[in-house]
Chain A
Amino acid sequence: MFDLLIRYIRQGRITLNRDRFTQLATYHDPCNYGRRAEKIFGQGFFEEPRWIMDQCLTHWVELYPDRRHQFCCGGGGGALTNGYNEERIFYGRRKMDQIKATGAEMLVVPCHSCHGQLNNIKATYGLPKLTVKYLWELVADCLVLSEA
């Protein structure tokens, strides 16, 4: 998924407008693309999404801690579907603290579970206006179409 987006951008098959978004953005590393992938497959996808973020945005900030040391959003492992909602919302408190600390208004994620969880809990933690965006949605939003 990261590789495909990077290939489209590097080969010039898609062109992106880096001025499309002006609000401050940040990026969340999903456990399964990062820490877990590194453990299981020997490679975590940390730099690839960041390179893609750089092609879409002139400025964005990191969460702290990040990459393999990030906190889980609380939506993984089937948590969105097992009915333990109070515990799932509690789980996300550290992630929301991290996001708040950046002052970001837009959070980019490359994972369906993270996207669902963070959208679901953001109002509980006082960030109802936080935009949660898929990484590929960010790319789609920044597309510049050639007149062909």
Chain B
Amino acid sequence: MTILQNPVSFESLDPGRSRAWPCDQDLCLTCANCSGACPVAGIDDFDPRKIVRMVSMGMADHVASERWPWICTMCGKCEQVCPMGIAIPDMMRRIRSLRARDQIPGILQSGLENALRTGNNLALPKEDFVFILEDVGAEIAEEQGFETFTVPIDKEGANILTTIHNKLVNTHTEDLKHWWKIFHAAGEDWTVAADNWEGTSWGYFTGDDEAMKTMAGRIVENMRRLKARTLLWPE
């Protein structure tokens, strides 16, 4: 119990800042329903209640240096059982936003920087992307009933524009085929953009609202540029 061994110095608490957080954390009754519902309560000696209380006491920076807010998947079982309606998953995401960007665990930040710089998490060049799509499209056309299948890249005026999850043009190209086969069978008028096709938005995971706005804005721009009527965004 780190907190018990190192008692909080009340001089360091920041009630003004905690009021600025819109997650209602100060309403916590310490009932621990959230911790009872959480599948990872106890890892690193943390649980949702402890984090809610620490944020309420102005210790958000302390929590931000811990692994736990990243081990949490923001699944929402905690807030579902909270009698006071505290937005605990939103709070976890807000805590993640406090991390220095070069201290974000794993490949999240490098993938996001790739996406912001090149339009997709893999930094996959446009020619390679188009090649993969056309190659997989040609494989589908070899199957019975799909002989006329082609991938309509950057087609203007289509009914549906679909985004692509980066793993489908990386290690899981077979999984590109399912939606495409459904489109073919349904006679759908669809397209996929050759630029800014990325469907994931890792700013959601890193607590980066500006990055999310940029990624969503590019999809909106593709909708405008290609005059597509409907967006299919399965990610």
Contact = CB atoms under 8 A, between A and B. Distances in A.
A72 B205 CA distance: 16
A112 B165 contact: yes
Contacts of A94: 39
B182 A5 contact: yes
A143 B175 contact: no
A35 B232 contact: no
Contacts of A110: 234
Interface residues of A, number: 40
Interface in B136-176: 144-146, 160, 165, 167, 175
Interface stretch (A82-90, A99-107, A123-131): A82-90
Contacts of A137: 175, 178
A49 interface: no
Contact of B186 (A13, A78, A79): A13
Interface string B62-105: 00000100111111110110000000010010000000000011
A35 B76 contact: yes
Contact of B73 (A8, A31, A39, A134): A31
A18 interface: no
Most chain A CB within a 10 A radius of its CB, from B108, B160, B175, B179: B179
Interface residues of B, number: 48
B70 A82 contact: yes
A116 B105 CA distance: 19
Nearest to B145: A145
Contact of A1 (B105, B106, B232): B232
B73 A79 contact: yes
A68 interface: yes
Contact of B179 (A78, A112, A136, A145): A136
A21 interface: no
B219 to A, nearest CB: 15
Contacts of A81: 106-108, 111, 202, 205
B75 to A, nearest CB: 3
A87 B71 contact: yes
Given A35-B76, A36-B76, A83-B105, A140 B165 contact: no
Contact of B105 (A68, A84, A93): A84
Nearest to B43: A87
B182 A76 contact: no
Given A36-B89, A112-B167, A140-B179, A77 B74 contact: yes
Nearest to B80: A35
Nearest to B90: A40
A144 B165 CA distance: 26
B40 interface: yes
A143 B75 contact: no
Given A79-B70, A145-B185, 5 more contacts: A35-B80, A39-B80, A82-B108, A140-B177, A145-B146
14 contacts: A35-B77, A71-B75, A77-B72, A77-B75, A79-B73, A81-B202, A82-B70, A83-B107, A87-B71, A112-B234, A116-B167, A137-B178, A140-B182, A145-B145
Interface of A: 1, 4-5, 8, 13-14, 31, 35-36, 39, 68, 71-72, 74-79, 81-84, 87-88, 90-91, 93-94, 110, 112, 116, 134, 136-137, 139-141, 143, 145
